[in-house]
Amino acid sequence: MHTLLSTPKRDGYRMPGEFEYHDGCWMIWPERTDNWRYGAKPAQHAFVNVAVAISKFEPVTMVVSPAQYDNARHMLPEDIRVVEMVTDDSWMRDVGPTFVVNDQTGEVRGVDWTFNSWGGLVDGLYFPWFNDDHVAQKVCEMEGKDRYRLNNFVLEGGSIHVDGDGTVITTEECLLSPGRNPHLSKKEIEDTLKEYLHADKVIWLKRGIYLDETNGHVDNICNYVRPGEVVLAWTDDETDPQYEISKECYEILSKETDAKGRKLKIHKLYVPSPILITKEESEGVDSVDGTLPRVEGDRLAASYANYYTANGGVIIPLFNDANDEKALALFRELYPEREVVGVYAREILLGGGNIHCITQQQPMAIPAVKPLELVGAR
Ligand code: KQY
């Protein structure tokens, strides 16, 4: 594994859309008891369900601490690879590498952004986070992938979505937040995204889901189904603060064109009714100074947009809500070529994210040039 000083754009690498073909999916085992209730056992069952659902479509690797190795190995089926690594929590979307591909040579590399626990000492969610900041490098090393490391640019994978065709969608709430890159202007942030994801256009939404503790990650409010087509978390309830946020996003998206000049087709994806933390759920979490507390009655940032697109399948969070069926029906319509699988995800939501946040795809690059031609060219 080499650390490269150039950029993916200069080297001909791009971040593919999640809907493109994957080599596999990475996850991290939950265990910290100040975020996951009751010794993280209910969350571990939920993570197993997600891993098993994804493993029907592509290989899954679960990263596990040495202390949890035996337990995780026992709870996970043997076709899920379990590897030891020390982490601070279990959000592979945000701490793992953003993989980029070279469509000519079929090579894959990792982008290793700086991770600071969603806002560092300004409004980060736990301290310290240095084990998490090493995860991308360790994954690249395990996979033998070269990496681009950005020491002066904080970003989490959940704060960007791409269409693989030149367009990035993100939110101002997150990328312009004071805890991430206050030394950079909006233009400098946009230029960095373009350079490291190989994009030509950034679409800026203002805000993410109401009360999202990540400062409004885009992956909880919007997702690409395919180039030119997105789902947007939605409510018709004008008394819900989510209404104004979703309406604002809709207005931005409907006026925009993407990098290829296409108007976007926007599908409204109704959020579940407000989900509040119960007394029992709150009491199951250890109180630790410096970690975001889980308080009874607090509203969780629930959204069906936080789903994972796998080879041949989509894995959707369910909440036992009246809108679960509506969401599943929309996904079946939008993904006729994939199997739609719902996983009950309240436990993941209680930790502050959802299925998309706990997964990271490793794309497969399909070379346009045959290997022998490459050898001949050297
Ligand atoms: O939304 C995500 N991508 C991660 C959520 C992290 C919450 C930490 N408590």
Name the pLDDT band for 257 (thresholds 50, 70, 90): very high
What is the reported pTM? Answer: 0.96
Residue 377 lies in a domain: no
Q: Is residue 161 part of a domain?
A: yes
For residues 133-146, average pLDDT:
98
Whether residue 378 is contained in a domain is answered as no
Q: Per the domain annotation, does 196 fall within a domain?
A: yes
Work out which ligand 1 atom sits closest to the CA atom of 217. 1
Mean pLDDT for 73-102 is: 98
pLDDT over 80 (residue 369) = no
The total domain count for the chain is 1
- To the nearest whole percent, how much of the chain has pLDDT over 70? 97
The angle at the Cα of 18, spanning 13 to 24, to the nearest 5 degrees, equals 90
Mean pLDDT (the chain, rounded): 96
Q: Which of 49, 82, 98, 317 is nearest to 196 (CA)?
A: 98
**373 falls in which pLDDT band (50, 70, 90)?**
low
The whole domain housing 202 covers 3-367
C-alpha 60 to ligand 1 mean position (Å):
20
Q: Ligand 1: which atom is nearest the Cα of residue 306?
A: 1
pLDDT of residue 371: 59
pLDDT tens for 334-348 read: 999 999 999 999 999
Pocket test for ligand 1, best of 214, 219, 306, 360 (most atoms within 8 A of CB): 214
Q: Is the pLDDT of residue 376 over 60?
A: no
Q: Which atom of ligand 1 lies nearest, measured to the CA of 351?
A: 9
Which residue has the CA at smallest separation from atom 3 of ligand 1?
A: 357
Q: What mean pLDDT do residues 120-128 have?
A: 97
130 assigned to some structural domain: yes
Q: What is the CATH number of the domain that holds 38?
A: 3.75.10.10
pLDDT at 314 over 90: yes
**Residue range 303-327: mean pLDDT, rounded:** 98
CA-proximal residue: ligand 1, atom 5 (nearest): 353
Distance CA(217)–CA(119), nearest Å, equals 12
pLDDT score of 102 more than 90: yes
Cα(43) to centroid(ligand 1), Å = 14
Structure tokens that stand for 10 in this block = 């200069």
347 occurs within a structural domain: yes
Q: Calculate how far, in angstroms, residue 309's C-alpha sits from the geometric centre of ligand 1.
A: 18
Per-residue pLDDT at 5: 94
Starting at the edge strand found earlier in the chain, the sheet holding 161-162 runs: 161-162, 167-171, 201-205
In a 13 Å sphere around the CA of 114, the CA atoms on its Cβ side amount to 11
Average pLDDT in the 260-272 region?
A: 98
Give the active site residues: 357
Position in ligand 1 atom list of the atom nearest CA 301? 1
Pocket of ligand 1 (CB under 6 A): 35, 91, 93-94, 125, 158, 213-214, 217, 220, 351-353, 357
Residue 272 CB burial class (10 angstroms; 0-12, 13-18, ≥19): buried
Distance 91 CA to ligand 1 centre (A): 6
Residue 375 lies in a domain: no
Ligand 1 atom 8: the closest Cα is on which residue?
A: 352
Cis (ω within 30 of 0) for the bond into 274?
no
210 within a domain of the structure (yes/no) = yes
Map residue 152 onto helix, strand or coil. Answer: strand
